[in-house]
Structure 1
Amino acid sequence: MWGEKMVHEEYMKLKENATHGDFMFPFVKYGEQNPCCYTCIPMHWHEEMEIVIIEEGVLEVSVDLNSFIAKEGDIILIMPYMLHSFKQYQHEKFVANTILFHMSIMNHLTTDACAVKYFTPFMDHKYEVPYVLTNRDKGYQGVHTCLREIMQTYDEKRECYELMIKAQLYKLFVQFFRNVFVKKKNEVIGKTDTIKNVKAVIDYIEQHYMEPITVDELAEIVNFSKHYFMCFFKKSIGMTCVNYLNEYRLNIATDLLANSDMTIMEIASKVGIGNVSYFNRVFKSKFEVTPKQYRRRVLEK
């Protein structure tokens, strides 16, 4: 997720420490515009459902290892626990609006027909859910209208807005179950195993990025040989494991550059890159500015 209204820390919060809304009302909306120098959110996942409307421009998206280009007007649907990433497409700018909510917001105190017939099967992955809805797809207009209503309610925050958003979410899911979701066919075992292995590696990187990490170390997590693991990761993620690790570390570094007084050397060490010259080189390769120039631009804004 990119967000003009979200600080860089929000971008980088992944599964372990992400907080969207709060436990009393686990719902949040972000109005988003890709900021200067920010080009990629690496593969990650979280417990919340995420829905993105592309308002302007183009965005490269990967959901559960399936990549596609989302264009103006498209609605991206990311189910809870799904691996996903976002990448700027050919240096094009974009504007998007995003809502994230934990499915617990839909829960009742007692099990009823809604839970048994719809939400329990949904959470048990019994439905096929498209990764993107375009204005040519069945159900698009109804879903789009519901999302606009939800976003407006959140922005206005009038009295009882929490009740209204909850009611509107139910209305949204009526559109989903009637016109978008389809009863799921048998899961492909091979792909399920691939996603499980990718998640294991990503989780390890999230927890240990500040330490030296070798390819052998990552391969051992999924019991692959080094060569097979390198091929597996590149095929699954679309970049080498070394590039992914650098992307992750550099995105953490942008947060520290924008929101701390740490020196460049301290930041490089903090994100697990011990050689400051190498840190400067890979940072400039990714963002086309040096860390020092990046910090200056952020402060000027």
Structure 2
Amino acid sequence: MKSKIYLKEKATHGTALIPIAIHHLSYEEGIDNFFYLHWHYEFEFVFVEEGAMVYTIEDKEYCIMAGEGLFIHSNKLHSARSLNGMKCEACVVLFHPNLFDNNNQGATYSKFIYPILNGEMEFKIHFKCEEKWQQEVMNIIREMDDFKYESFSENELLLKSKLFQVWHLCYKNSITVTSQGRKNRNYKLERMEPVLDYIHKNYKEEISLINLANILPMSEGQFCHSFKDVMNISPIAYVIRYRILQSCTLLTETDWKIADIARNVGFNNISYFNREFIKAIGCSPSKYRTET
């Protein structure tokens, strides 16, 4: 998605020598959105100390209660909001993949980082108290929260050792995606490419489910199941999300009226566009334009 680049977080996390950032989030009761839809190259671990947070990662929602945690993969679109306006305290630790090996061809990177980045292995996303190793991960993240006001350079070895512990626990308990599984997914994705190409070229026009299903061709029910299996989102929801991301480009690159932008990306109803934009991005189009 070309427009995804406009949702890249502009903040710098850490330094080239110590690519780590620790943030303590504290939100009073009644605050709705914590942060808008964005992505970054860094991996991210979250531990909720009090209250609850609802994270959206790509198109899946995770309700993280107090005492639970979350892993957010590199380059994944994500946003966070409160659960029913509850007060919330949380610790967020971000770190670049290069933390483990500045040489991307090195043995450590090749064995422990690259398989995660390219989808050969998958980490647990939602950490609960059900297993001891998940509790250990959350305890370490909670411990790292104490370093937020300390000198990272003076505690460099300790910080890195804690993240190595976290990665070790996640890696040890990761799921290996079989070569056959990857082949099947690649085949399914290749099969969907004509549909995705059609959406990307015609998103400004009216697109119906039957139009998309006929491209392969499949029945509407079979097509919906196959599309969601590959993209983790329904076909129509994907169309809407793609239109919203295109609108982000126009909001940041033009001075067009928001109503004109909505029509340009395929929305005939400005109210509907506003609702879908807020749902996807986490703020109104006008606020997105002024704050990005």
Give TM-score, length-normalised by structure 1: 0.58
2:92 is the counterpart of 1:98: yes
Aligned counterpart, 1:156: 149
Partner of 2:131, secondary structure, is coil
Structure 1: tracts of 5 or more residues without a match: 1-12
Equivalent pairs counted in the alignment come to 272
Q: Which amino acid aligns with 2:167?
A: F
Equivalent in the alignment of 1:7:
none
Residue-by-residue CA offset, 1:197-224 (whole Å, 9 max, x unaligned): 699699879977984473589949x956
Matched, 1:186 2:186: no
Q: Determine what percentage of the aligned residue pairs are the same residue.
A: 14
Tell me: CA distance 1:48–1:217, structure 2 relative to 1, closer, same or farther (3 Å): farther
Q: Please list the CA deviations of residues 23-58 of structure 1 after superposition, one character each: whole Å capped at 9, or x if unmatched.
A: 8365445555695479995xx976542323234225
Q: What is the letter of the counterpart of residue 129 of structure 1?
A: F
**2:21 and 2:95 in contact (8 A); partners too:** yes
Contact 2:123 2:174 in 1 (8 A): yes
- Structure 2 partner of 1:18: 8
Partner deviation per Cα, 1:180-206 (whole Å, 9 max, x = no partner): 524636356276348846996998799
Closer/same/farther in 2, CA of residues 245 and 253 from structure 1, 3 Å limit: same
Contact 1:273 1:279 in 2 (8 A): no
CA distance in 2, matches of 1:124, 1:294: 33
1:280 to 271, 279, 285: 271
Distance 1:198 1:69 in 2: 33
What is the aligned-residue RMSD (CA, Å)? 5.5
Task: Note if contact 1:76-1:131 (Cα within 8 Å) is conserved in structure 2.
Answer: yes
Match of 1:49 among 8, 22, 43: 43
> Which consecutive residues of structure 2, in runs of 5 or more, have no partner in the other structure?
none
In the superposition, relative to structure 1, how do residues 284 and 211 fare at CA in structure 2: closer, same or farther (>3 Å)? closer
**Cα pair distance change 1:106/1:37, threshold 3 Å:** closer
TM-score, reference length from structure 2: 0.59
SS at match of 1:136: coil
Amino acid at match of 2:156: L
